[in-house]
Chain A
């Protein structure tokens, strides 16, 4: 009995972890108490957990992403705090290693990924004039698998210990010999479960975009965000199976003593590096392309002009998606593959800068002859351009393989990828969040607080990350939990810490803005408060369950269908209201995901009976589904008409 519980103990406990444990326990109890007190369980189950509505699933992704943003953010502040002064003893080495590992995994896979998936879910069906995604129930399953993977990963630091071999989890360091806690088991299995969900999302959205576009919407009439979503989902479908295979092999190495990546019996540690980055490099484009899509929507809206060079924008994304699979080796230029191989990958990597540059210039020329309004989303976009350009050009520096021998694994690299991901992905997500907030929740976020947030964030960002370029060139390797005063790194690391503190303030300001606006913002906004251009704004606010009472027809319109209807009077909604067929909610997907969680947890701790129980549960849910008769239901035309009338009285635009 004692042994059974001993395996769940934290291998390297510290006061911080005990505090975190206690706060998780009390937080959960408080949450359960509140939900029970207000009798919300039924509501949660009917309206959210079992929902197949793409908008609600999107919002669940959003909430997960925001929670994880703060979880990963706390990790980040701890890292910077530890490095702020030399010889710091705030975190010891093992704890530091766990924190930077979970910071990386959480931010990339459990913050950025759900954030872009939120936009896929919320926006794509609206932008293409569809009622839902192609496979609504699969969409629900994808969310819950992702969520269970996220949950499994996050309990690692209170049950059994967090992974500690970096988010790249290079073998043999991540093997049993050098990583003895169950942390890396969590990594392998949690990412596997979440990755299955992501793969389903990929298939779902490719099908949705290819098959469910409104009449008249040819591929080259799709809004730019939908284009970026299509390309990103294609990359997902090509890249994620590689991760699935790599994680399966890694799991077998750890649980069943196979030798795929070990240093003995013919294992190849470089194989992991190759497989990881064959997925990992395209992964950064899975994140950045939808971000580009959001910026395209925001910039054209607030420059009050159509997007410059629409066709070259699309082609540049297609070229990027192809190249994204041809550059993975630049992550290990220093692995000794020789001058010839390095030269090839140096050139392909630098070549990616060309289509990316095209996009930057297209955004700049979208401003040309425009009528620029500096709203909060636009301010994010305008800060994005110079900051991201800086991150892009340092990427070119890293792509010079011979020179990279000096930047590899240094703070220069850390500065570069944060310089790309924060102004690129995070700014886009926050710009998009502010932009689409009224569409989701029926009120605007406060503009004054919003704009101040952007400035505080950018100042914090510059202070936090620019010094890292310099310490990198001065020889500070990354992932060092401490350094001596003699290195001379301390001043710049302190500046970084101050920057991280300022960035923290900006994220608190976002929470404050949401709270403040929830309390004070007027609710009688029109359904098109920004005077926007895309089809998603042609819906009512709040968006009815069925999105569009009549499927829009964009035959006569350009890629900015709603703008055309406002300016040229093109008719979007032709014909009359008919019965609408809708899918039923389902709890089976959630139950199955819970079994995935149970099986995953059991595998982490090699508890085989429980694992078999979980696997049988999964199979039983699949069997139930294949025998289930579910034809959905109809919303009748008169119900839709009544609904539309109600919306029209509230002043919703059409």
Chain B
């Protein structure tokens, strides 16, 4: 993988579901910062308390864990569309959100939007847009898998109806069918490189060739499913290999993510430029990221060469 030592950002990745090995490899591949949108767990949560602890972990333990591998961790906080359909629960989660959306390192309300496009999803999407507006935060919109084009257009129309400026909204999981509508309306268009669904690396290259790098963002959405936390560096590498300019790669795999979510005032390039070393002897609530017998890394992160082998001898 050759990315000419570019600094990269993955603005959509669910690290809660990933291991520390991933963090190590991501940092070695040039990822300096990530954004973790609040997500669902694969099965619905049944109590507001599990949302509370989950949100707390996004601003607490997970931030710490990332820092131990030289990666700055940010998150977006929201009630996802799938779980918005349990109305009594959704009401309680809405009461929790004001406790979290303005915390340190929270760069937006997200990921919110539509899944089945039910009236209840619509209700809580709108309520969360109002919250984002109240605190002047960017919004990260998950677009539906089914009836995608109509759902994407509806998401944007609803944002505008609530008086939210397009440059405050990142529309996620785009494809060849939706990209033009999103860019034409002035929104940020994010693409998820995800095996077997969403977008592929090669298709992504073609999109940047066709539409340029303005307001286009690449992410991995890696989560508990079959997915790849190195999607952003791999795509950056392929773009360079296929003749896309280094400046366009830098914009789509770094700068645009920083410019869009930086509007929260919570994410600055200096956050990672000023601190490049780690100390794995540190603890969070008495917990270390290390397991028994592992040697803590202290000092600069090694980003040269290939990631170490996981073979235990």
Asked if chains A and B come from one complex, the reply is no
Q: Chain A: residues with CB nearer than 8 A to chain B?
A: none
